[in-house]
Amino acid sequence: MTLLAPTRAGHPPPAPPAARSGRRRLLPYLLLLPGAAWLLIFFGVPLVQLASASLYDPSGSLSTGYAMTWAVGNYPDVLQAYWPQFLRSFGYAGLALVLALLLGYPLAYAIAQKAGRWKNLLLVCVVAPMFTSFLVRTLAWKTILSDNGALVGLLRDVHLLAPDGRLLATPFAVVLGLTYNFLPFLVLPLYASLERLDPRLLEAATDLYASPVQAFRRVTLPLSMPGLVAGTLLFFIPASGDYINAELLGTPNEYMIGNVIDSAFLVRLDYPQGAALSFLLMAAILAVVFGYLRRAGTEEVL
Amino acid sequence: MARETPAGDLRLANLTRRFGVFTAVDDLSLTIEQGSFFALLGASGCGKTTTLRMIGGLEEPTSGQVLLGDRDITRLRPYKRPVNTVFQSYALFPHLTIFENVAFGLRRRGIRSVDDEVTRMLSLVQLDGYGDRRPAQLSGGQQQRVALARALINRPQVLLLDEPLGALDLKLRRQMQIELKRIQTEVGITFVHVTHDQEEAMTMADTVAVMNAGRIEQLGPPADLYEFPATAFVANFLGQSNLLAGEATGAGGGDVAVTAHGTRFSVPAGRSRADHGPVHLGVRPEKLILVGSADQVPAGHQHVTGVVTDASYVGVSTQYLLRTGWGTELSVFAANSGTSTPVAVGSEAVAYWDPRHAFLLPRDAADTDRTSPVLDEPVGASS
Ligand SMILES: Nc1ncnc2c1ncn2[C@@H]1O[C@H](COP(=O)(O)OP(=O)(O)OP(=O)(O)O)[C@@H](O)[C@H]1O
Ligand SMILES: [Mg+2]
């Protein structure tokens, strides 16, 4: 610093031509332009439309047309009518998340640290189900869990299931479906974090009297936190808004908020209600996410 | 010195580690006395780190045992061993502050009040006030000192140091050496110290071991290794030696007679490790004295003649290369004490030595003269 300062002061760098520096300052914005335009047209505009739809007069219909009456009352109304589905959405998504963490963390750890030359193959295996459609995969689960399927038969035989007990059309099936369908979104970011974990740090921890459990808690877990936070969000957000799993693997008793929104828009054609529910869901998810990030305290994600 | 019960001596018994067909550590057996300072020297890749890892429990030996006192700790988990390591790669925890890095071992052992101890340790390695930083915010040498503090704070029975001072400048390194030596003598920790700095090994260690290709070539007090090396490798790894290929023709009258390149020499029997067959006659460059002609050689000394091909002045001494009649270039270090006259490059000269300073080593029949030091890291042919 002290050496450089006088040189700098003695020879001020020639001022760059105004036009060039202006263009350089604009460059980041120019690069942003296509993406921003895309977002504006396909996300911003529909969002505003949806927001206004959520305030339409609820007594209108598609045939008679909707009047904009700033009906803020739509929000408390839908909340009152569908709060069980809201709670169920977050409950199921949360349960599925716990299951996915129990399955996914060891899986990601094993692939990242222990798989050796099988690493890439295992990663492909994690992603492979995504090559088929979400719908097809869920339908396949419907077959697996069906009442006269092999699984139910086996469970009945070993008395883990009552003779008339079933898996399909239960909350269990829906949570299972959610867990399965969104697992890769949890595993991949976790894998990326754990892959960067230097095994020598674990050696250092054990050298410094940390038992394997302590080494995990004090070194592995904190260092995998960015991947854990990202994976949890990527899992939880789509899972709590999902309706396919409840639709195909559950009954109306297992319907989540996604099912309600689906039927409001496509069956009952009650646009104000559907829009209000969508906005509530968005707000709830944002609240959960921010609350979570606050607690997890990871600067790397936001 | 010999004690009845080896209370806390570290013993390695036939320790072997193979990676596939490659043997990294080959049937290593040695005893390191409790509280002593043991230095392990050796070329890169000779198995030093692997040896330390087996003592620390991070590597499982293929065969053999590690014993601490009477206790066999070969299969003991690393976190249960009273052993700590300063890693060659530092391995600092990137998510923890310097303070927490240093406190890690204490906390894992359930010690609550660590503040005083950590502060003391940080000031010992001259990092006062760095406690709140993260490892990434420190220079390489600072990180290395954190690694040192993190291990030292636990006051283990055995401390393994894998090149713990490699990244420090000379002044700081000397200071740290003094501190380490002080702690070692005060607390009575057994130090196993891997280093590439011969001077460090010689000044600090009670015992030096020179390792080559997974085996210990020689082990003993530093002066013994230097003055009377056991193998050609040691002779040229610790410092430099002029080794002349010759044939020993038997002992007689307390001396061993040697014929090398047509000239007869003799070496005291006490400094000969072989008395017949192919041998290396060794003389350290600083034990050679350069004079202009053979009649200046004092009685009882032996000499070779040659042509001075190079003279480099390095301050404390001048280093000459003397090309002998058979083509080998001998190194001669002439101390710059002001008593000898410089010898011009290109002139004929005579190098003489006192036979009591020479030593005799057995030699493979195919081996020829060896005068260049063993390079630790292979250096590019012409870079
Ligand atoms: N996990 C491993 N798998 C295969 N070979 C290994 C492994 N670890 C070490 N080696 C080999 O064993 C030999 C000894 O390695 P080691 O790390 O002990 O060397 P070192 O003496 O510490 O060298 P340096 O001075 O460069 O640190 C080397 O040839 C190395 O390539
Ligand atoms: Mg090493």
**Each residue of B77-97: pLDDT tens digit?**
999 999 999 999 999 999 999
| Whole-angstrom distance, CA of residue A104 vs CA of residue A109 | 8
Give me the number of domains chain B comprises.
Answer: 2
Residue whose token pair is 């200071």: B175
Backbone angles phi, psi at B96, to 5 degrees: -110, 155
Q: What is the CATH number of the domain that holds B25?
A: 3.40.50.300
Superfamily of domain A74-300: MetI-like (1.10.3720.10)
Is there a single domain that holds both residue B154 and residue B250?
no
Angle (CA) A158-A159-A163 rounded to 5° is: 120
Is there a single domain that holds both residue B145 and residue B274?
no
In a domain, B301, yes or no: yes
H-helix or E-strand spanning residue B332 = strand B329-335
| Whole-angstrom distance, CA of residue B322 vs CA of residue B328 | 8
In a domain, B378, yes or no: no
Nearest-by-Cβ selection for A201 from B78, B83, B93? B93
Structure tokens belonging to residue A294: 């606050």
Residue nearest to atom 22 of ligand 1 (CA): B49
| Whole-angstrom distance, CA of residue B332 vs CA of residue B320 | 5
In a domain, B176, yes or no: yes
Is ligand 1 within 6 A of the CB of residue B195? no
User: With 80 as the cut, is the pLDDT of residue B50 above it?
Assistant: yes
Report pLDDT for A301.
Answer: 43
| Whole-angstrom distance, CA of residue B188 vs CA of residue B279 | 42
Instruction: Provide the residue-wise pLDDT of chain A in tens; the chain has 302 residues.
Output: 344 444 444 454 555 555 566 778 888 889 999 999 999 999 999 999 999 999 998 888 878 888 888 889 999 999 999 999 999 999 999 999 999 999 999 999 999 999 889 999 999 999 998 899 999 999 999 999 998 889 999 999 998 888 888 899 999 999 999 999 999 999 999 999 999 999 999 999 999 999 999 999 999 999 999 999 999 999 999 999 999 999 999 999 999 999 999 999 999 889 999 999 999 999 999 998 888 888 876 554 44
Query: Strand pairing of B63-68 and B215-220?
Result: unpaired
Q: How far is B79 from chain A (nearest CA, A)?
A: 4
Report pLDDT for A165.
Answer: 86
ipTM for this model = 0.84
Is there a single domain that holds both residue B200 and residue B262?
no
Is ligand 1 within 6 A of the CB of residue B24? yes
Q: What distances in angstroms separate CA B375 from CA A18, A223, B234, B369, B378, one per listed residue?
A: 58, 40, 12, 17, 6
Is there a single domain that holds both residue B175 and residue B52?
yes
CB burial of A157-173 (b: ≥16 within 10 Å; e: otherwise) equals eeeebeeeebbbbbbbb
In a domain, B164, yes or no: yes
Is there a single domain that holds both residue B245 and residue B325?
yes
Strands (E), B142-254: 158-162, 190-194, 207-212, 215-220, 242-252
B352: which strand partners?
Answer: B289, B303
Structural domain harbouring B56: 10-224
In a domain, B4, yes or no: no
Q: For B313, which DSSP code?
A: E
Question: Residue type at A222?
Answer: P
Contacts of B91 in chain A (CB under 8 A): 198, 200-201, 203-204
H-helix or E-strand spanning residue B361 = strand B359-362
Structure tokens belonging to residue A184: 């890769």
Structure tokens belonging to residue B118: 């950590």
Residue whose token pair is 């020639």: A14
pLDDT tens figures, B164-214: 988 889 898 998 899 889 888 888 899 999 998 888 999 899 999 999 999
User: With 60 as the cut, is the pLDDT of residue B66 above it?
Assistant: yes
Query: Minimal Cα distance from B105: which residue of A?
Result: A208
Residue nearest to atom 9 of ligand 1 (CA): B50
The alpha carbon of B214 and the centre of ligand 1 are apart by a number of angstroms equal to 10
User: With 90 as the cut, is the pLDDT of residue B13 above it?
Assistant: yes
Confirm whether pTM is higher than 0.95.
Answer: no
Contacts of B56 in chain A (CB under 8 A): 207
Q: What distances in angstroms separate CA B337 from CA A23, A197, B205, B317, one per listed residue?
A: 70, 57, 29, 8
* A206/B78 Cβ within 8 A: yes
